[in-house]
Structure formats: structure tokens, C-alpha cells
Amino acid sequence: MTDHDTSASQNIKYPHWQREFEAALLEDDPQKLRQLVDAAEAAIFLRSQALVESPQGHPEQQAISDAIQTLRAIQREKLGYPDWNKK
């Protein structure tokens, strides 16, 4: 494990999905990136479902919303997905 890996793992505040999200952020290979983005989306979806009943979920829900926006940008900029918000 490198110093970068160690510092990243120490910053994991939301372990249910953040590891998958950070793996996608760090990947450069398009094939691997697509798989990692899919894994991050699945982990985020599952955690969002678990937080529906949780009154304490607000800070994590904001982090999830931010992560989803970042994943969308990765999909557009690195994987060639269309920008559905473009008018």
C-alpha cells in the first residue's frame, strides 16, 4: 500500500460506497473505468435505499448527491456519454 492509498483510506467517511467511488476517480483505463463507475453507482444506490428510513442520513445524502454529479461528469468527459442536461 502506498502513502497515497493509506491517506485515501483514512479519509473514508462513508465506507458503504466511498471506496468504490474513489476507485473510479483514480482510474485512467476506459474499460476499467466503466466497470468502476458501474460499481460505484450500484453501491451508492444501495446506500441511498438504506438511508431512506434514517433521519441521520442528511450529511451522507449530500455527499451522495455530490458523488453522483461527479460520476456523471466522468461518464460524459471520459467515457463519451451524452450530456442529457444540455439544451
Q: What is the structure's pLDDT at 11? A: 83
Residues of the chain with pLDDT below 70 are 1-10, 56-57, 87
Q: What is the structure's pLDDT at 87? A: 67
Which cell is 41 given?
453507482
What is this structure's pTM? 0.82
Determine the straight-line distance between the first and last CA of the chain, rounded to whole angstroms: 45
What letter would DSSP give residue 87? -
SS3 readout for the chain = CCHHHHHHHHCCCCCCCHHHHHHHHHCCCHHHHHHHHHHHHHHHHHHHHHHCCCCCCHHHHHHHHHHHHHHHHHHHHHHCCCCCCCC
